[in-house]
Structure 1
Amino acid sequence: MSRRCRIIVYSILIGIAAGVLALVIKLLFFSGLFVPTLELIGAEHIEINMNETYQDPGAQSTYRFMDNRAHIIVENQVDTQKLGTYQVIYRLDNADKKVIRQVTVSDTKAPDLRLKGEEEMTLFIGEDFTDPGYQAYDNCDGDISDQVKSTSTIDFNNSGTYEVRYEVKDSHGNVARARRVIRLLEDPLNTKLAYDHDMFDNTMFEWWFNKSQDHQRTTAAKSEDWLAAYSAYYQGPDEKVIYLTFDEGGNDITYIKEIADVLNENDVKATFFLTRNYIRNESAFVRELVDAGHVIGNHTWNHYDMTTLANAESIDAFVEELTQEEKTYLEVIGEPMPKLFRFPRGATSERALKLVHDLGYQTFFWSHAYYDYGSDVSKQEALDTLLDHYHNGAIYLLHPSNKGNFEAMSDFIAEMKRLGYRFDTLDHLK
């Protein structure tokens, strides 16, 4: 290679080396080796609502590849109690360098509007409505409860579902809304029954039946035809169907919740005849029963012998035994009670049946029961009697007060299903 060519090559190499060196020096310079860096963490512009706490994201700095944040001086001008745009300035005490963040304090937040009391209420026609009230608080204006406006769609003369709507606006135009649902219902206690029933015999008889033999349909205290005149039944149609019913008035010992779990696990629906006080005292459980598809029947308020009230002097008390329970059911469930009735202890009369019929109810006795009040009934004893006397359309009367019924229930259901039977609720028996 000639001397001239070598000079040209060397010149090119020297130029490349100089360029690389300049780039390295530049990178080192801007990486903080010679001059500290300073940059914001997070956005250059932040917006917050008035009276909210401002959490500053901060800034970062490096110098000679080391953390240089200790040399950052922060000038925070943000006043969250006043609307406006403020600056947060970050400076270095070891370099003439600064960065700025803009912080806007505004009010875009709606007031906090909260209802006192229940958001869904049940009222009866004739009752006074007292609004439980409300509370409104705004991040800028403070307590503005006195500025809440309410409007109502309630027609107090007609049953239905209505709303009370609430609205409040703060000084910067932010609006909050809420609503309360009001279910206005006919009051069952307004039910009156004109008494002209003296022509019906009021001789009390307690329900009895002949136990099924060889799984044949059975006979009982009154014939099906006699009962039909009063919309009363003791067995269902001659089909492979079983009706499980449970009477509960609030025993000290009860396995009703365990029985309900077994029914639900086996996808079996049953009918529960409950007293008014039980519905009131166990309202959450009663709602669970209804939600699961079980049916609640009327078993009276006080579990009286209803024949003692089946006369002109006591007719209002007779009616109230049913309507007090209806009203409690409405309050708990929010819808009318099914018109299914069972006399306490099965004690009735023709007159009492007629009175219940005139109140719009169907009455249900039973075609199989056994002495299951005692807590000492074993699983095997319960299972044996349940299986020995099943028949088409059987209505079983059972009490949850003994553990045997609970322990036998799953096996009984499985065997009935194996034999081709289905289970149903009494509201489907017409």
Structure 2
Amino acid sequence: MSKRCKIIVNSIIVFVLLLIVGIIVKFVFFSGSFTPLLKLNGDKQMVIDVHQEFEDPFVKARYHLKDISDEVEVLGQVDCEKIGTYQLVYRLKEHDKEVVREVKVVDRTAPKLMLKGASHVRVFLGGKYQESGYAASDDVDGDLSDEVRVESHVNMNKKGIYKIHYYVKDHSGNGSKRTRSVEVCEDPTSLKLHYNYDTYDNTMEEWWFHKSEKHERNKGAKSAAYLKKFDTYYQGPDEKVIYLTFDEGGNEVTYSKEIAEILKKHDVQATYFFTLNYLRDEADFVKELVANGNLIGNHTWHHYDMTTLANAHSVDKFVKEITETEKMYMEITGEEMPKIFRFPRGGGSERTMKMVQDLGYRNYYWSHAFYDYGDDVSKEEALRTMMEHYHNGAIYLLHPSNRGNYEAIESFIVAMKDLGYRFETLDAIGKDSQEP
């Protein structure tokens, strides 16, 4: 064997011997076979969140190849409900051995910051912004509402969208932020209508129509072409679509909420014409209707015969009947009111249609209705007339004060869907000026 080979072989032998010695030393001194072993399980330093349960990984203790963990004494404790640094000492008293673990209880959770009211609100030019409020709380520091910092630059004298920023920090430095947008817009009640409408006929006519025969599209008191000049409609396009509309002026007995639940159940949206008083008194219901995709139309403030106000002397009252209702809707929902209108009792004139049009509204009559004011109309009678006169593009006028309508509406919806009809809201009619 060459000298070089001998050197290589000897080196390998030395390495193997050293490895064997190392294993023996580790077994003798670090396995607990001949000397006690006390070793931490897990990390020497641990971090847990306050209120989180601390699970102690404990230690490994062996001696003479036996587990002696039950002989380990633990000194100290961790208060999981209090922020701080804690030491746990694990001690083998008889063998004079101990190891130490450090546990930090910290707060890493940001406080909760909630805005009261809507995150986007509309206010009126020249008015005063009323802060809806906020609340902040922390699972360690408790109520932090008084420590919320607010940055606001809302200019009530200039139209625009402004941001209000809300900040809060807990005592551990964790922070939360929220933002509210405030849209300063024109007050609809500031709108004035220059009166020059005497050339338009102001003879009041209550809307009427020929009942549909054999489900054919019908004719109304005025032709569709004539009405369209005033952005006024009484039926939709010649398609398999039905428009459910409900007029509500604040009757003592009403089934509006019950009807709304049925519509929601069948994923049907309708158009509701509300007076100002009803909007004000049923604000939560109105917001719920809007959230479910229904359309709220303007039915004036006092439910007057609008032709009596369509003159130079009363033009401001005419306008306020509509704009005050519009403003109430905006205050309730924080949104602009859809420019959808219906005359009280369907009574209008050429002049009133023109004035409503100049206020930016589209006016809607109907192509199906029946005497449903009385409370003696049964479900059977209501359903019969609904089914006898349906037609493509029909606008149904229904009054929710009638129990028969309420009891019949579900059967009607199911039947019309089975016939292939869909239900839409009135804003689809006249939107693109393509309807008949």
| TM-score of the superposed pair, with normalisation by structure 1 | 0.75
Moved more, 209-218 or 352-361: 209-218
C-alpha separation in 1, matches of 2:93 and 2:331: 72
Cα deviations across residues 115-154 of structure 1 (Å, max 9, x unaligned)?
5633614222222235456677889999987876544464
Shift of the 90–404 alpha-carbon distance from structure 1 to 2, 3 Å rule, reads same
Instruction: Look up the match of 1:367.
Output: 367
| Percent of aligned positions that are identical | 50
Cα distance in 1 between the residues matched to 2:406 and 2:143: 56
Give 1:359 shift. 0.8
Q: Distance in 1 between matches of 2:396 and 2:137?
A: 58
Q: What one-letter code is carried by the residue in structure 2 that aligns with 1:252?
A: E
- Specify the code of the residue in structure 2 equivalent to 1:120: S
Aligned residue for 2:116?
Answer: 117
- Compute the displacement of 1:320 (Å): 1.7
**Contact 2:111–2:168 (Cα < 8 Å) also in 1:** no
**Cα separation, 2, equivalents of 1:39 and 1:117:** 54
1:330-364 CA distances to partner (integer Å, 9 max, x unpaired)?
23333322211111112223332222122111111
1:134 to 1:69, Cα distance in 2 relative to 1, 3 A:
farther
Q: After superposition, give the CA deviation of every residue in 1:7-26 in whole Å (9 maximum; x if it has no partner).
A: xxxxxxxxxxxxxxxxxxx9
Read off the aligned partner of 1:72 and give its amino acid letter.
E
Provide the C-alpha distance between the structure 1 equivalents of 2:42 and 2:281, rounded to a whole number of angstroms: 57
- 1:397–1:62 Cα change, 3 Å: same
Instruction: State the Cα distance separating 1:193 from its structure 2 match.
Output: 1.2
Question: By how many angstroms is 1:288 displaced?
Answer: 3.6
Q: Bigger shift: 384-393 or 160-169?
A: 160-169
Aligned pairs (5 A) from 1:287-298: 287-298=287-298
Q: Which moved more, 1:352-361 or 1:238-247?
A: 238-247
- Structure 1 residues 53, 272: closer, same or farther in 2, change over 3 A? closer
Paired residue secondary structure (2:286): helix
Contact residue 148 and residue 168 of structure 2 kept, 8 A: yes
Q: Residue 100 of structure 2 corresponds to which residue in structure 1?
A: 100
Distance 1:266 1:168 in 2: 44
Matches within 5 A, 1:123-162: 123-131=123-131, 150-152=150-152, 154=154, 156-162=156-162
**What secondary structure does 2:75 align onto?**
strand
Shift of residue 36 of structure 1? Answer: 9.0
Distance 2:269 2:132 in 1: 38
Alignment partner of 1:293: what SS? coil
- Kept in 1, the 8 Å contact 2:32–2:62? The answer is no
Match of 1:231 in 2: 231
| Matches of 2:218 and 2:80, distance apart in 1 | 87
* Matched-pair contact (CA < 8 Å) for 1:340–1:362: yes
**2:125–2:157 contact (8 Å) kept in structure 1:** yes
Q: 1:142 to 1:303 in 2, by over 3 A?
A: closer
Q: Distance in 2 between matches of 1:245 and 1:54?
A: 56
| Change in CA separation of 1:140 and 1:238 when aligned onto 2, cut-off 3 Å | closer
Measure the CA separation in 2 of the matches of 1:393 and 1:176. 51
Deviations 1:58-108 (A, max 9, x none): 54798999997697251459999897x6532233555533221113466x7
Q: Distance in 1 between matches of 2:272 and 2:208?
A: 20
The amino acid that maps onto 1:375 is: D
Trace 1:222-261 onto structure 2 (pairs within 5 A): 222-261=222-261
> RMSD across aligned C-alpha pairs, in angstroms?
4.1
8 Å contact from structure 1 (residues 340, 364) kept in 2: yes
Q: Does 2:423 align with 1:402?
A: no
* Gapped regions of structure 2 (runs ≥ 5): 1-27, 431-436
Distance 1:69 1:60, change over 3 A: farther
Paired amino acid for 1:317: K
Whether contact under 8 Å (2:113, 2:176) holds in the other structure is no
Q: Is the 8 A contact 1:378 1:403 kept in 2?
A: yes
Q: Extract structure 1 runs of 4+ deviating beyond 6 A.
A: 34-39, 60-68, 77-83, 135-147, 169-173
Native 8 Å contact 2:111 2:169 kept in 1: no
Cα 1:353–1:140 shift into 2, 3 Å: closer
- On the 8 A contact 1:111/1:136 being kept in 2, the answer is no
Aligned amino acid, residue 367 of structure 1? S
Larger displacement relative to structure 2 (86-95 or 338-347):
86-95
**Consecutive unaligned residues in structure 1, runs of 5 or more:** 1-25
Counterpart of 1:427 in structure 2 is 427
Length, aligned pairs only: 397
- SS of the residue corresponding to residue 47 of structure 1 reads strand
Match of 1:72 in 2: 73
Q: Is 2:194 the partner of 1:194? A: yes
Give 1:22's aligned residue: none
TM-score by length of 2: 0.74
**Secondary structure of 2:352's partner?**
helix
Contact 2:48 2:54 in 1 (8 A): no
Q: Residue 23 of structure 1 corresponds to which residue in structure 2?
A: none
Change in CA separation of 1:120 and 1:92 when aligned onto 2, cut-off 3 Å: same
- Deviation, 1:380, is 1.5
Q: Does the 8 A contact of 2:74 with 2:88 survive in 1?
A: no
Q: Contact 2:188/2:324 (CA < 8 Å) preserved in 1?
A: yes
**Secondary structure of 1:263 counterpart:** helix
1:321 matched to 2:321 = yes
C-alpha spacing 1:172/1:333, structure 2 compared with 1 (3 Å): closer
Could you report, residue by residue, the CA deviation over 1:291-319 in whole angstroms, capped at 9, with x for unpaired residues? 43332211122222223332333322221
Counterpart amino acid of residue 387 in structure 2: L
2:18 is aligned to none
